[in-house]
Amino acid sequence: MEIKLPDIGTDEVEVTEILVNIGDTIEVNQSLITVEGNKASMEIPAPYSGKITKIYINIGDKVSTGSMIMKMNVDSIAIESDKKNIFSSNIETSINNDNLIKLEPIMSSSNINIEDDITDHINNNVIQNNDAYIHATPLIRRIAHEFDINLANIKGTGRKGRIVRNDIKNYIKNIIHSSICTKSNISPILSVSNNCNYSKFGDIEEVELSKIQKISSEKLQKNWTNIPHVTQFDEINITEVEKFRTQQNTKLANKNINIKITLLVFMLKAVAKVLQELPYFNSSLSSDEKTICIKKYINIGIAIDTINGVVVPVCRNVNTKGIIELAHELTEFAKKANTGTLTASDMQGGCFTISNLGSIGGGMTFTPIVNAPEVAILGISKSYLKAVWNDNMFTPVLMLPISLSYDHRVINGGDGVRFINLISHMITDIRNLIM
């Protein structure tokens, strides 16, 4: 018996998947191929039970109504049985807005005329349950295949138990958030590691991650997966603040005061000022994602790179402290971080984080990962001289690249731009810090 492509309401479609192989024994209504056309994707079911003996098409082929797609062996008993039990397949197509369209094909055969039987069955709207077959759109099957998910473990909420996009999204989210999830059941979704034997290519050395690296990697992966990040980039003119900073350090040295004022201190003060003006940046999202906790205190974490990994001590009540006091506090944090003497309380209570790569260098910008339960983080890169036209000539200007990452569930793009503009306004002329 030869199987032809039924009339699915479009002139020509492309074969995107062949779901069976030659020699496979299939059941009635089991999907044979997936086709796409006119922004729609659908599966073509088998008209009868039997064994596939020949496949006429390949992936990428263009087919139309009546095109021969496969050949199968069936016996007369199976045909009569399937005629009594056959039902019209609900072929759902995934469109741009995720609306589902029900297409009801009419199957035909060169050897057996079943058109009238199926048409009558469609007209009677007889739909039967098939527990052996999982109802899901081709899009859902692709997602399940990509993440190695068994669709039998997902309860469909669509019509007649069909698995829809939200079902598979919720399944993945539940695994990630489940308090009882283990590495074994989450690894197919999140893990990118492998067990390749690299030693067969040459000499290797295995080094165990430090305790800080293990803790950080787990948290960073969770934050990157669960938080919809947006990062905005800009540059700040720090020419004047650098002149002022250098002058103040010279005065402190002349007075034998062993404190060094860094640009980071001014960034701390500017961020504290902006957090007061844009309080959503100084908040946390509740676990049920229904409320936002806006904090009335300004505690800012500073990411410090150490030989054992990155640590983030927290400067508390930054808005109430002066430049000299903050400079001293940062110096003490740096000493404790490099000697491994930071305490747990030193790294708790943060509202916002600054990651400063300026002293190391590297590229112009980077994407810092939000340090949950905070909702935003500011990245600082290495400053550089830039030629800027001032209506008469080019002048050298010291520019500081910055990167602002934030949780898009809480912060919108407009507020992101306002945050950067306010920081730039205050750092370009630090007199604005006292306004």
Q: What is the mean pLDDT of residues 406-418?
A: 96
- Reply yes or no on whether the pLDDT at 81 is more than 70: no
Q: The domain containing residue 60 runs over which residues?
A: 2-74
Return the pLDDT at 230.
Answer: 96
Q: Is residue 310 part of a domain?
A: yes
Q: What is the mean pLDDT of residues 4-14?
A: 80
- Reply yes or no on whether the pLDDT at 122 is more than 70: no
- Reply yes or no on whether the pLDDT at 126 is more than 90: no
Domain co-membership, 271 together with 153: no
Q: Is residue 195 part of a domain?
A: no
The domain total for the chain is: 3
Q: Looking at the annotation, which residues are catalytic? A: 408
Closest CA to 26 of 132, 105, 144, 128: 132
Return the pLDDT at 427.
Answer: 95
CATH of the domain at 157: 4.10.320.10
Return the pLDDT at 369.
Answer: 95
Whether the Cβ atoms of residue 417 and residue 232 lie closer than 8 Å to each other: yes
Question: How confident is residue 77, by pLDDT bands cut at 50, 70 and 90?
Answer: low
Q: What is the mean pLDDT of residues 174-182?
A: 60
Domain co-membership, 324 together with 400: yes
Q: Is residue 401 part of a domain?
A: yes
Q: Is residue 216 part of a domain?
A: no
Q: Is residue 357 part of a domain?
A: yes
Question: How confident is residue 163, by pLDDT bands cut at 50, 70 and 90?
Answer: confident
Domain co-membership, 382 together with 291: yes
Instruction: For the chain, give the mean pLDDT.
Output: 81
Domain boundary among 19, 39, 74: 74
Domain co-membership, 254 together with 166: no
- Reply yes or no on whether the pLDDT at 208 is more than 50: yes
- Reply yes or no on whether the pLDDT at 94 is more than 50: no
Domain co-membership, 15 together with 152: no
Return the pLDDT at 140.
Answer: 80
Domain co-membership, 299 together with 409: yes
- Global pTM? 0.57
Domain co-membership, 291 together with 419: yes
Domain co-membership, 280 together with 367: yes
Q: Is residue 36 part of a domain?
A: yes
To the nearest whole percent, how much of the chain has pLDDT over 70? 79
Q: Is residue 120 part of a domain?
A: no
Q: Is residue 404 part of a domain?
A: yes
